[in-house]
Structure 1
């Protein structure tokens, strides 16, 4: 276009509206109510600046006015969007650490929300009218479910291990098998936790074989304070191996007058074999076998909120509760309310798989998963007819370090072809992001965690 024509257009164009005019416009009023005058003004200025930088002088007149407000609305919506958002977990890992591990039962989530909305009897004894202890809301339930003399809770299992060691072994040695010096996600390492607790690590045995004599020979009176057994999370040692049972470790520790601390990691309050899942040691079994203190997570196999649960003998638990670090690691009222609700669900074991989402997903029938995969696979094939889309059998994993070598039969929708990374990015950009995984040159969407109640929402955002 000749230069004089462009100049003529600028000369006859309506100027860009002023900030004041935009703020007074009826179209802007809903934005002011939702976001506030300061944020709306800033967004409008950003849009006007961008238009001027692009050489836009209001050629479209009234349409430009509306477009400016709409652009500002888009900016404000993007800026106010929550960073942590619900997603569809189709990774094939049920208890996915990066996706928040267990989902809470609805009644537990409501109990947490109710506690946040109101003043509560968090540390108030309603019977006596005096100060109470926050852990009392869950400690008796934990004792009942685990067979422990006493119990307490902190904010996660790493904190539970560290607090127990800081209380019972500060400045002294703790014996740990070399085969249990684990590292889990985020470069979390057991030796580091032991060091931070103020205890000193004494390694015993070898990576693949540790014997009872290794522990017995390593105990030094007045120097060794505890024996620690650590759950082998995220891996398994197979082949020419040997490990010492909890019963034997308990006898060795007690003969030396020191406690046995067992970290069960994921931790399950019930025997999972009842539902056809692989066996996982329970706190009750560990305590019965001779452990003095058992720690485990609340948000993994137990299916509750993030928490570190500590059960064991009363003398040790009392000492742990008196440790000044306990206050720094304690749970807030919302998580305590959710945890109490989940523990009460365990009191009804016959309906546990029905009411506890984590267990329901882990025990979901393969035929049910296949039906889900076939339904959504059909919709996706219609939506993307040029894509190679198939429904195939696959294997899910439990996740979060629980039963690391055990896989669960499942079904997935898989997508082949070029541009899989871009397709995965597109799915992550949906209103409720879809998180799958790419393997063997296909995008795999495992349907184990996509329940019937979520199918409509999943399909709606694809079409």
Structure 2
């Protein structure tokens, strides 16, 4: 919540004594009916009391009754502003973890709304009238799109990995290449997840080179699982080597040990067909692994969840594990996931209807044209605060997907104006201050600071009118 604003008294207020503070009853009794209707008498009364307490603590002249009521209403409005709010993601990172990752298509949002406001058949079989299994709502779709025999859904991919490890390798060894012991956002590390799952890590190979023989030498009677981990947020180049996936799968089958592949992003289509850098699909991964774990809100373009897909017998063990209930998802997640998965059944329209793919496949020419079109209007909004120009830039996919690949894009470049009243403030300081004001807009605008300018990458901008409406609130110069 914002810090309380000081109430500035009018000249007539100066003659008033702190002892002449209006009563709460008088202030509430003369309040505007719309304020009482919006906030309720109880809340408005509490806000008035808080304002009066501040006046008493500060001492000095007492503001008039109208100013006190106005401050009370302002505080209540600030309190009622949602903490989780829409923003304009103009950072250049399409799947931005801090900004909510994938945007849902309209059909998914409508599906969520439908099950939010009335009862649903979440765990009820409409055909038999008996209790149902909540994974049934999406399992057949997942299997159809990936080639898996069975699938389960949990609340994110880290949970999917944890569940697989606990269900298949608790108190056993899990063989992993040293080059795949990654740390993802929030300092979550694969070795730590294994410890929490009750497994013992067996590292093989080196950071940059792991051979098939390393796995062969490590697999033994105490091995519960061999695991591959997608290096989602980094890449090792140069003198490197990795075991051939098909040969590793054959080795695991020969030794009778399951092979799990943590793909992370969960790509369901050939991205190269859309002019994007290639990324392994879940279907291809399942041709050389027994289980695959992946996210729902990254390249798949759906809601946050984790999916485990693969062999039916192994999925059955995963589903029976007590942690499955602790990690299960709600009806809204299933509704959104099902709606997005159904879009994949119509591949001819997928790039148009799936926001993630639509934003990733925008060509630079169309983005640059958008920038040229918006630049004059944005410059008018920011007059006195910054000059606006169009610049080439690069976007990235984000959220651990294709970490070293970039996409050509275009941005509005904001160069903060020098302030005559603060000549010593450097460009970096002015840039930081402008970024703060952009974040304080009715719909915050989040760009990225590059040197002494702010770049608003337009790859992810589809609501041009909404952006301009929000930017119109920027009026005063940077100080």
Specify the TM-score bucket, using the shorter chain as the normaliser: over 0.9
Hey, what's the Cα distance between the residues in 2 that align with 1:382 and 1:32?
38
> Equivalents in 1 of 2:244, 2:37: separation in Å?
64
Find the residue that maps to 1:125 and give its secondary structure: coil
Q: What's 1:134 paired with?
A: 134
Deviations 1:346-389 (A, max 9, x none): 11111111111111110112122112222332223233345342
Indicate whether 1:170 and 2:179 are aligned.
no
Counterpart CA distance in 1 for 2:368 and 2:85 is: 27
C-alpha distance in 1 between matches for 2:68 and 2:243: 71
Structure-1 residue corresponding to 2:84: 84
1:301/1:8 Cα in 2 relative to 1: closer, same or farther (>3 Å)?
closer
Deviation at 1:32, TM superposition (A): 2.6
Give 2:448's match in structure 1, choosing from 437, 443, 447.
437
**2:470 corresponds to 1:461:** yes
What's the offset of the Cα at 1:390?
1.7
Q: Is the 8 A contact 2:233 2:400 kept in 1?
A: yes
The reply to whether residue 34 of structure 1 matches residue 17 of structure 2 is no
When the two structures are superposed, what TM-score results if normalisation uses the length of structure 2? 0.90
Aligned residue in 1 for 2:8: none
3-state secondary structure, aligned to 1:152: strand
* Aligned 8 A contact 1:181 1:190 in 2: yes
Corresponding residue of 1:403 = 402
Between 336-345 and 14-23, report the one with greater CA deviation. Answer: 14-23
Q: Which residue of 1 aligns with 2:477?
A: none
Q: 1:44 to 1:254 in 2, by over 3 A?
A: same
Partner of 1:10: 16
Map of 1:301 onto structure 2: 299
- Normalising by structure 1, what TM-score? 0.94
Rounded to whole Å, the distance in 2 between the matches of 1:170 and 1:132 is 29
> Does residue 155 of structure 2 align to residue 149 of structure 1?
no
Give the secondary structure class of the aligned counterpart of 1:225. strand
1:230-249 aligned within 5 A: 230-249=229-248
**Cα offsets for 1:160-212 (capped at 9, x unmatched):** 01101111111110110011000111101111111111111100000001100
Displacement of 1:67 in angstroms is 1.8
Q: How far apart in 2 are the matches of 1:278 and 1:232?
A: 16
Task: Work out whether residues 47 and 72 of structure 2, in 8 Å CA contact, stay in contact via their aligned partners in 1.
Answer: yes
Aligned to 2:28: 23
Q: Quick one: distance in 1 between partners of 2:306 and 2:332?
A: 15
Q: 8 Å contact 1:16–1:57 — kept in the other structure?
A: no
How far is the alpha carbon of 1:38 from its aligned partner? 2.5
Give the Cα–Cα distance (whole angstroms) in 1 for the partners of residues 135 and 271 of structure 2: 27
**1:359 is the counterpart of 2:357:** yes
Write out aligned runs for 1:52-63 (5 A).
Answer: 52-55=56-59, 57-58=61-62
Say if 2:193 is the partner of 1:184: no
Give distance in 1, aligned partners of 2:14 and 2:292: 82
Q: Distance in 2 between matches of 1:8 and 1:315?
A: 81
Cα gap change, 1:73 to 1:26, in 2 (>3 Å): closer
Q: Contact between 2:102 and 2:301, CA under 8 Å: does it hold in 1?
A: yes
- Corresponding residue for 1:45? 49
Deviates more, 1:136-145 or 1:387-396: 387-396
Matched with 1:251 is 250
Q: Do the aligned partners of 1:294 and 1:310 also contact (CA within 8 Å) in 2? A: yes
After alignment, is 359-368 or 29-38 more displaced?
Answer: 29-38
1:108–1:341 contact (8 Å) kept in structure 2: yes
Q: What runs of 5+ residues in structure 2 fail to find an aligned partner?
A: 1-10, 417-426, 473-479
Coordinate RMSD, CA, aligned: 1.9
Q: Is the 8 A contact 1:209 1:242 kept in 2?
A: yes
Report which stretch shifted further, 64-73 or 382-391: 382-391
